[in-house]
Structure 1
Amino acid sequence: MRKSSFLLFLHISVILMLCMSLSSGAVEEDRKVYIAYLGSLPDGDYSPSSHHFSILQSLLKQSSVENYITRSYRRSFNGFAAKLTDEEAKKLATESNVIIGVLDTGIWPESDSFSDEGFGPPPKKWKGSCNGGLNFTCNNKLIGARTYETDSARDTEGHGSHTASTAAGNIVGNANFFGLAEGTARGGVPSARIAAYKVCGADGFIRIGSIRFYSDPVAVGAYHAAEKGILVMQSAGNSGASGLQSVSSVAPWILSVAASTTDRLFIGNVVLGNGKTLTGFSVNSFSLNGTKVPLVYGLQASSGCDEASARACSDGCLSSTLVENKIVVCDNFRGLTEARRSGALGSILETLFDNVSFVVPFPASALSIEHFHSFESYLNSTEKAVAEILKSETIEDSTAPVVAAFSSRGPSVIPDISAPGVDILAAFSPVAAPSSTGIDERHVKYNIMSGTSMSCPHVAALAAYVKTFHPHWSPSAIKSALMTTASPMDPSKNPDAEFSYGSGHVNPVKAINPGLVYDNVEGESLRFLCSLGYDEEKIRAVTGTNVSCPKTSNKVLPRDFNYPTLSAQVKPGESFTVHFPRTVTNVGVATSTYNATIFSDSKLEIEVIPKILSFESLTEKKTYNVTVKGKALSEQSMVSGSLRWSDGIHMVRSPIVIHSYEGLSKAV
């Protein structure tokens, strides 16, 4: 969680494998025979048969695929015929043409997650290059690299390798972190290619997010990417502990991603001397071998620090002599580094982040505020307090998904969507310390990390997955498909509701068939900039061209942007009426009729005109208007509802959020 990143993905529209049906009859399990044309034979040491088998093994997830290949072509051209289902054929035809670009701390090219075994040459329309610098080589999986921070794109921090493999890492068996989370690691789209751009290093990350788009390099770059058909994903930020209005990604042409929990939880239990067990959170691979160790509070083990700093085990506060062979207690998780540096045997810490576990460099566990207070009661009840910190284990988290406490909140901007970002196992740099303390001599190939940086690549992978089914969709259409098919999250478990999870939790299955999409027409992003009151100089700083705002008698508002979420800021203490014009494009069934259903907070009166949208063809567009009325809101408050369009097959859902917080909302 210590860093934040963003990803973009590019789609190369060249058809690497052209699949065509050769038989209309079903062949075992509704399989048909398809031919995959792979082009000419590559130069060098290359085995066509081995390549063909590897491709099918990664697709079918079976160790033996000989019975599925009906013919292998190895002379005049390179290809094979195989028995596949329609779904498998579509996947084979397009996924290896998708390229996910990762802007992060670089990448570790030798990781098994980035092996090019089974991959053919890069798509012919790939115009990038491998300029990874010193001691760096690309392959047919990792097809591009650049470095802007050091003399090599090699990842020495681990963060970039982790995000890249989460998005598009190969299928790797027996991945684990010292036996924890053992299983098969795979990215969201394992057959996609990767281009890695090292834009940040040990000193930190590029600054991201500003409502002044003309001075935000990420917003400017993403604007041009969107104009060229590239969708940019960005982490919403890890400032949730700061409260509301902390989301860093604000440009409407960027997809901002919040982090949520998964159903796997890492716990590090603490057994007290009185026999009581407290559940803590940590990824702790160490064991005290059944020994209960004396406890010492940071305040009693400090020398030369004020009381608050000593309690928190701030840097330089602990005495090595006073913590020797003891477990030191700190009332701030950041005290972990000082506890390790001072030579303590272990550490018990207080955390604000329930259900989030971080890798620790020695026996340590973080207790929630409630459990930490219970622990303090024991500590104060005896002069010989002892405890044992158990090695971490995994349990099922029945409350998931819940937005992580560290995940940044709206408004100012509301996250677009939420995705898994807690306790994610993925590839790591073997030269980087697996824990955030920097005092960790271990080396790992796979590590467990948490943050919106971990949720962002999940959505990048899903966007790439949608692109494989719809290679000609625009970035805004893909973004819409992800948002309108997201699963609503339980507001009772997420007090900040849409401010924390946006449109909801990602749903990969539904996203490929959304029914309707909110597609932006040419010039819409420019009109959005005009709606903010930007002059020509500021607009030129974003667009790079000499353009001016269109002359119109009707004032265009930021909330008029054709965005799936309907969000508006209103003045506190005043009743309000807000209008949202929207246009949807039919991408579901050619002849279809959608009916509108409103789910509303009792404080909102919502009307949709028209209530029925009838389509006669694919790509046909229909416009509707939503009017939201309500009584005065108190200062810094929010009410919400949702609009759902349905044809009986597709459910196209848009959150409706009205708030009285000052600042710029993505659709204000």
Structure 2
Amino acid sequence: MVYQRKLIGARYFNKGYASVVGPLNSSFNTPLDNDGHGTHTLSTAGGNFVSGASVFGFGKGTARGGSPKARVAAYKVCWPPVGGNECFDADIVAAFDMAIHDGVDVLSVSLGGEPTFFFNDSVAIGSFHAVKHGIVVICSAGNSGPDAGTVSNFAPWQITVGASTMDREFDSYVILANKVQLKGQSLSSTALPSNKFYPLISAADAKAANVSAEEALLCKNGTLDPRKVKGKILVCLRGQNARVDKGLQAQFAGALGMILANNEINGNEITADAHVLPATQVNFTNGVLIFTYINRTKSPKACITGVTTLLGTKPAPFMAAFSSKGPSTITPEILKPDITAPGVNVIAAYTEAQGPTNQIFDKRRVKFNAVSGTSMSCPHVSGIAGLLKTLHPTWSPAAIKSAIMTTATILDNKKEPVMNASYFKATPFSYGAGHVRPNSAMDPGLVYDLSVNDYLNFICALGYNETLVSIFSDNPYNCPKPPINRTDLNYPSITVPKLSHSITVTRKLKNVGSPGTYRADVQEPSGISVIVKPRSLKFKEVGEEKTFYVTLKVKEDKAAKDYVFGNLIWSDEKHYVRSPIVVRTA
């Protein structure tokens, strides 16, 4: 949570947790981070400059957070799991209240749960009250991808962040005895002797008695026979149990090294973990080649090369398979996530109360660790929001969100459309408006602004009664009659989940740059005609607002059954204010 005024501090909230688990001992009465998650995310958002940062010497360089000069405050609300829960609603809401009281400018919230209605969602309620006080709230999209409809933290007043890769890899190759070289990635602190080949075995062939080959292949606790594993390189399949736990089980069984092969769902998404033994992770295609080699070779052998840091890799970014995807199951009229940012193999500060794998047997300690998740992408955007808040202190949270979204890119460093982990073209349901571009967000030209009453009217349009609306408004609020059309919320994207024939949606743009005339350019979704009126908007001064209308109509002979995607771009030849258009026919 980024804090930009006079104090630096940390607080803890555990009364909700204690109400479930019972009385807590004094070790719980501290905001100290015993897990690493909070340290990592906070330093990503607001960490200062630290030279010589690395993970076991890899990725070495100067570390800094997104807002490196920010003052920060930490609010600890998550504790050891009980009943599958770590972060309790009462503690989350209490932390939001205290952060508002403390006067923070930006809140970075790397937590979330299953999609639920707003009045049952403590993060949605807390973040609404924060936004009402002018605080920008950034949240994680969740790590339940790649299935559709898994995105969480989908309230329109939040900035919801997906996770994508960056152009840095930690290469560690598998070399088979038949001289085939297959690229993997790792951050193992130890390495096997170079150019020395060892017997290679699939975990399915190393199963313990009374264990299925499918279970053993996942290298779960108790599934491996040490007599078959000892002195060999073990090949495990990704899935179900933690990646680093697979390495631990391989080590316990006597393996000299481990190759972790992606399953098909994870495709090309590789997480470089600080394994406890020499290990590397390979993508799905290379994993298939390794298993095929084992099955067709009488005495398969391989070696694993040491780790090297590689910069400028292509293609980058592409979407992480784990990153939760839209559409929102509760408010499909709002495109979520809003934006994507780096969330794979992110190096940031780490607690020394845990080893880099967070496994109890890992006695190593690191000052920096590489971690992956939308928890890691969220604070990237939080840091950017902090910089924008400093640069434009009068901008509303909605204006800051708009600047971040409308200046994003949907192209990778090969100038090709951003892909998913299987190297198929990704969609706005993965990346929202695109991959964040901090420098462009400083000067967006125009923004889509929103007030607290706009959000309350949207809540009213969801059918909430006055009692439920008052949870957000604090005071009685008269909902407009008739209710607004939910597609008319002045959002930086346009989403129509059920288009039967045609619809006209309303949007308003505010000038935050120099005077100029902006003209509309439309990239139509397949099978949908898009008409913008007026086609040009002339702004004479800062703060001036102009309304326009977008009519979307189904081309009856070309209507698609699934969601289709396009873009609306307003440009004065200097600024390009791009909004995704997302449509599904009824």
Return the match for 2:173 from 261, 269, 285. Answer: 269
| Counterpart position of 1:570 | 498
Return the match for 1:657 from 558, 582, 585. Answer: 582
Confirm whether residue 193 of structure 1 aligns to residue 47 of structure 2. Answer: no
- Give the superposition deviation at 1:389: 1.5
2-side partners of 1:182 and 1:311: how far apart?
34
The TM-score, its normalising length taken from structure 2, stands at 0.84
| Counterpart position of 2:198 | 293
For this pair of structures, how many residues does the alignment match? 522
CA distances 1:142-173 after superposition (whole Å, capped 9, x unpaired)? xxxxx999221111111111111111111111
| Counterpart position of 1:115 | none
Maintained 8 Å contact 1:238/1:408: yes
If asked which structure has higher relative contact order (CA below 8 Å, sep 6+), I would say 2
2-side partners of 1:224 and 1:612: how far apart?
36
Confirm whether residue 420 of structure 1 aligns to residue 342 of structure 2. Answer: yes
2-side partners of 1:316 and 1:548: how far apart?
61
Return the match for 2:49 from 168, 171, 175. Answer: 171
- Runs of 4+ aligned residues of structure 1 deviating over 4 Å after TM superposition are 128-133, 632-636
Maintained 8 Å contact 2:235/2:258: yes
Of 152-161 and 632-641, more deviation after overlay is shown by 632-641
Maintained 8 Å contact 1:265/1:355: no
1-side partners of 2:296 and 2:152: how far apart?
45
- In the superposition, relative to structure 1, how do residues 209 and 476 fare at CA in structure 2: closer, same or farther (>3 Å)? farther
| Counterpart position of 1:324 | 230
CA distances 1:323-354 after superposition (whole Å, capped 9, x unpaired)? 22222222235433432343322211221251
CA distances 1:233-257 after superposition (whole Å, capped 9, x unpaired)? 011111113x111111210000000
| Counterpart position of 1:357 | 271
| Counterpart position of 1:475 | 397
Maintained 8 Å contact 1:294/1:386: yes
Confirm whether residue 159 of structure 1 aligns to residue 37 of structure 2. Answer: yes
Confirm whether residue 237 of structure 1 aligns to residue 167 of structure 2. Answer: no
Given residue 637 of structure 1, which amino acid in structure 2 is its aligned partner? D
Given residue 238 of structure 2, which amino acid in structure 1 is its aligned partner? N
Alignment of 1:56-455 (within 5 A): 98=4, 122=6, 130-131=10-11, 150-203=28-81, 205-206=86-87, 207-208=112-113, 210-241=115-146, 243-290=147-194, 291-303=196-208, 304-333=210-239, 334=241, 335-351=246-262, 352-359=266-273, 360-395=275-310, 396-412=312-328, 413-435=335-357, 437-455=359-377
- Give the superposition deviation at 1:655: 0.9
CA distances 1:396-429 after superposition (whole Å, capped 9, x unpaired)? 3121111112211111252101111111111111
- In the superposition, relative to structure 1, how do residues 492 and 457 fare at CA in structure 2: closer, same or farther (>3 Å)? closer
- In the superposition, relative to structure 1, how do residues 130 and 443 fare at CA in structure 2: closer, same or farther (>3 Å)? closer
- Give the superposition deviation at 1:369: 1.8
- Give the superposition deviation at 1:302: 1.9
CA distances 1:303-342 after superposition (whole Å, capped 9, x unpaired)? 2212321222222211233322222222235433432343
2-side partners of 1:129 and 1:162: how far apart?
16
| Counterpart position of 2:530 | 606
Confirm whether residue 550 of structure 1 aligns to residue 487 of structure 2. Answer: no
2-side partners of 1:187 and 1:492: how far apart?
25
RMSD: 2.4
Given residue 30 of structure 2, which amino acid in structure 1 is its aligned partner? S
- Give the superposition deviation at 1:263: 1.1
- In the superposition, relative to structure 1, how do residues 648 and 457 fare at CA in structure 2: closer, same or farther (>3 Å)? same
- Give the superposition deviation at 1:522: 4.1
- Give the superposition deviation at 1:228: 0.4
Maintained 8 Å contact 1:361/1:437: no
Q: Which runs of 5+ in 1 are unaligned?
A: 1-6, 11-97, 100-121, 134-146, 662-668
- In the superposition, relative to structure 1, how do residues 635 and 655 fare at CA in structure 2: closer, same or farther (>3 Å)? closer
- Give the superposition deviation at 1:471: 0.7
1-side partners of 2:42 and 2:55: how far apart?
18
Identity %: 40
- Give the superposition deviation at 1:436: 5.0
| Counterpart position of 2:573 | 648
Maintained 8 Å contact 2:497/2:584: yes
Maintained 8 Å contact 1:157/1:202: no
| Counterpart position of 2:451 | 521
- Give the superposition deviation at 1:518: 0.9
Given residue 329 of structure 1, which amino acid in structure 2 is its aligned partner? V
The SS at the match of 1:411 is: coil
CA distances 1:484-507 after superposition (whole Å, capped 9, x unpaired)? 111223446343311111111111
- Give the superposition deviation at 1:211: 4.0
